[in-house]
Chains A and B, each alone.
Chain A
């Protein structure tokens, strides 16, 4: 199927309700079925998405540089960043667990921020990427993004279990909050974006060529 043949709802004078999926005429201001406000395109969502993404990218720095847990073992205190925690797992022969933690706490957040950055740049600066691949990446980001929460759950369980004073004690450290906020902002950034904007812009390019 050729892309230039595709007709968008906008051209037909139809608008899909964001909430319930009902197809309405663009002349309506509220959805006939659920009463939600209808919006043909949400142009402001691009700006909102950028703002949230940049915030997340800035927070990613403290999340990776500061320690995420503090472990006291027989009186000796060690601070672990996300990365050194994973190295410790590798050294204690727990490679499968290390791979899971690495994916959830390093790979997913970085890929999410870089991926969303590319996606938003493609809309903002009219970059010519394959839109199918961009969209595939976007759906992947939406789906896998929540898995970063794994590290926070592990920290909360460890902190609740390991509390024996000088003998053995685990406490969260500043990076935990930064990491939680990175997850929140990237998830919201992907959620607020109106993805139809990408397809509109690339359609215009096709017409020009």
Chain B
């Protein structure tokens, strides 16, 4: 990886051999990479690009698996507490509602976005993208517009989805409560953890740059 150090008198045309760093605007010449290797900006260490290829079928499969797991993960209780004979259970959804009922709707909104809406939108967005690619719908005008919209918000959605933090949070809660009550995990806990793992691997396989490159095809 080397930066363009020769002084260019004439202006370069926007071709594929030059890329600019997202964070520091350094001009870097593009090279083919062996698989599993990531190019890093020589000046500011920001990741530039990696293998611009991803298995659409693999992402689609994991996306469908995530969608199937999403429903029980949201509906079944993630934690169960036994305290002097009385049993309390909670789902992700009820956790947010309980806080909202106390008047803390900002906190409730944060929980809803991070654990329910964020992951839900992310999974549906990826599913829609895969359907568009599979059926080559991006060649049509409306399909292309929708595809661009989904890609534009992909990074925001993947930041809004906080499944990994939620998984740690029910571990922390169970330890805290185990001081004065018995805490049990249920089927919902299992589904939620599996959902986290499937989404994790889906996002590892998913390459945003590759998705954008489908738009070059029509030109």
Contact = CB atoms under 8 A, between A and B. Distances in A.
B33 interface: no
Interface string A169-186: 001100011001101100
A136 B107 CA distance: 30
Interface size class of A (residues with CB under 8 A): 35 or more
A163 B81 CA distance: 11
Interface string A1-44: 10101111111111110011111110000001111100000000
Interface class of chain B by DSSP: mixed
Contacts of B102: 159, 171-172
Contacts of B42: 1, 6
A162 B90 CA distance: 10
Interface string B20-51: 10111111000000000000001111100000
A161 B89 CA distance: 6
A69 to B, nearest CB: 11
Nearest to A26: B11
Interface stretch (A50-58, A109-117, A145-153): A145-153
Contacts of B96: 156
A69 B22 CA distance: 41
Interface size class of B (residues with CB under 8 A): 35 or more
A14 B44 contact: no
B45 A101 contact: no
Given A23-B19, A135-B44, A176 B152 contact: no
Interface of A: 1, 3, 5-16, 19-25, 32-36, 73, 89, 92, 94, 97, 100-101, 131-132, 135-136, 138-139, 146-147, 149-150, 152-164, 167-168, 171-172, 176-177, 180-181, 183-184, 187, 195-196, 198-200
19 contacts: A7-B26, A8-B20, A14-B12, A14-B18, A21-B209, A94-B176, A100-B168, A135-B46, A149-B110, A152-B107, A154-B176, A156-B107, A157-B173, A160-B90, A163-B98, A164-B83, A176-B106, A183-B110, A198-B24
